[in-house]
Amino acid sequence: MIYGYAHVSSKKQLHGNSLEEQAATLTANGASTITAEQFTGKTTSRPKLKALIDSLQAGDTLMVTKLDRLARTVTEGIELIRALFKRDVKVHVLNIGLLENTSMGNFFITTLLAVAELERSMIIERTQAGKEVARTKAGFREGRPPIRKEKIQLAITLLEEYPYSQVERMTGISRSTLVRYRRRQKECAKKN
């Protein structure tokens, strides 16, 4: 049986990747059932995908329109595909083709992994080169820019009336930073 999986990271996904468009494409290519899910790129929990994968049997096919619909990274996708291969499940990525646990299927997966590793290494190299150039410039400071004292003081004052989550939304200062500054303020008050 062919199972389709569609996902978007936002309700208004661009470039022809809406849930409806993916579902239509998957159905047109033979998927019997479609599982659709919305999650952000930062979210690792995909309960519908996990449930679908757990239900797949030997001989089934998991179909997606593109590899990035199945996984956040190529490496994650390859790991998932290899796990499915071990269970005799085929993976059909419509813009790539049918991937099976064959010599050619594994060659293709290995090639994808090599390209992903090369891309990752190149990104790291470019980032390091950019940092080296930035370090030569006057006024360079590595890390996040400091938060103005007035903004911190406002946030700490707001904590007297509102919970951390609300102050975090109102000021844009993370909870951990608020806790750290509040702790420092209390320690300074004890010393004086």
Which residues are tagged catalytic? 9
Closest CA relative to residue 17, chosen from 95, 92, 89: 95
Amino acid of residue 25: T
Rounded Cα–Cα distance for residues 145 and 150 (Å): 15
Q: Which residues pair with 36 in a beta bridge?
A: 6
178-182 LR contacts (CB < 8 Å, sep 24+): 181/152, 181/155, 181/156, 182/156
Region of 50 (left: φ > 0; alpha: ψ -120 to 50; beta: rest) is alpha
Residue 62, classed as helix, strand or coil, is strand
And the tokens for 151? 């903004």
Given a contact cutoff of 8 angstroms between Cβ atoms, the answer to whether 26 and 6 are in contact is: yes
